[in-house]
Chains A and B, each alone.
Chain A
């Protein structure tokens, strides 16, 4: 992996972690234990997408629009729904909210990067751009 690729990889993890932290913080601030779970999930998802869009505006030009968008959209939408569901069921501490959300963000970015690698490595066995006509 080149130095540039390592920097982009670190940036993707940082952007994913920040997106998850902002999503979880906003959701935890809004959703309280006892909320209807479906409503909490919708609110969390909405807040997560808003957080993702705001962070993507800054991180996209620095790291690439699609790498930021692919993992950020998953973290924002699904993470927001999961965090909303959790906050409607239990009174988690802020520290736990931040640790779990950061972990969630990093895991999603790792999963997206692995999937990307799998999609591209599958093609290496198939020589690119050799005429088959």
Chain B
């Protein structure tokens, strides 16, 4: 069955590492610091080409999902190199095949800029996260600086055709999905952020 989101990311998988080359170098340390909070059974959303696996602490049990088969194919070699148990699964964030309260930690990296219905996707995370589990978020969001936010709004109809939306209110969506935000940190301006949330 045709899925525009899956098809878009299958196409993007061919050039993803090239386009994100500098971003990986700029934000790798912030991601590693965020991921150091991973504990127990973990879920990663939007695996991409697996270029975040090198920032995971060793020895974890991680299920890593992505809607795109192309992305998961690119991620396979990196998953094999991870010093722990890392399984790759093709799955849609809106409808995950995991039981309720299955995970101690969930990590998302530039995920909810792309999930078509972000609040529904986050509610699905809420379902599969244990009551005392933690959600670790690395996302880019709409700036609160007027001129930059306006440009993000203007450019989103273009960026959406090839990749993510630039103007999502992901921190607000976390609250709308029932999460309680306990930390929020700017990584670049107020656009690239890391955050930590718990089930409210």
Taking CB atoms, residues of chain B closer than 8 Å to A49 are 154
**Cβ–Cβ contact B185 & A123, under 8 A:** yes
Given A73-B151, A74-B148, A78-B147, verify A66-B189 contact (CB < 8 Å). yes
Interface of B is mostly: mixed
Q: Which of B17-25, B49-57, B58-66, B119-127 contacts A (4 or more CB under 8 A)?
A: B17-25
> Could you tell me which B residues sit within 8 Å of A by CB distance?
18-23, 25-26, 33-34, 37, 140, 143, 145, 147-148, 151, 154-155, 158, 166, 182-183, 185-192, 196, 198
Taking CB atoms, residues of chain A closer than 8 Å to B187 are 120
User: In whole angstroms, what is the CA distance A59 to B23 when docked?
Assistant: 12
Taking CB atoms, residues of chain B closer than 8 Å to A123 are 185-186
Interface of A is mostly: helix
A-B contact count (CB 8 A): 78
Q: Closest CB of chain A to B180's CB: distance in Å?
A: 8
Contact partner of A128 (CB less than 8 A), chosen from B19, B185, B188, B198, is B185
Q: Closest CB of chain B to A124's CB: distance in Å?
A: 10
Given A112-B189, A132-B182, verify A64-B148 contact (CB < 8 Å). no
Considering only residues 45-100 of chain A, those with a C-beta below 8 Å from chain B are: 49, 53, 60-67, 69-70, 73-74, 77-78
By size class, the interface of chain A is 20 to 34
Taking CB atoms, residues of chain A closer than 8 Å to B196 are 129
**Cβ–Cβ contact A77 & B147, under 8 A:** yes
List of 7 A-B pairs having minimum Cβ-Cβ separation, nearest first: A73-B151, A64-B22, A119-B186, A64-B26, A61-B19, A116-B189, A64-B23
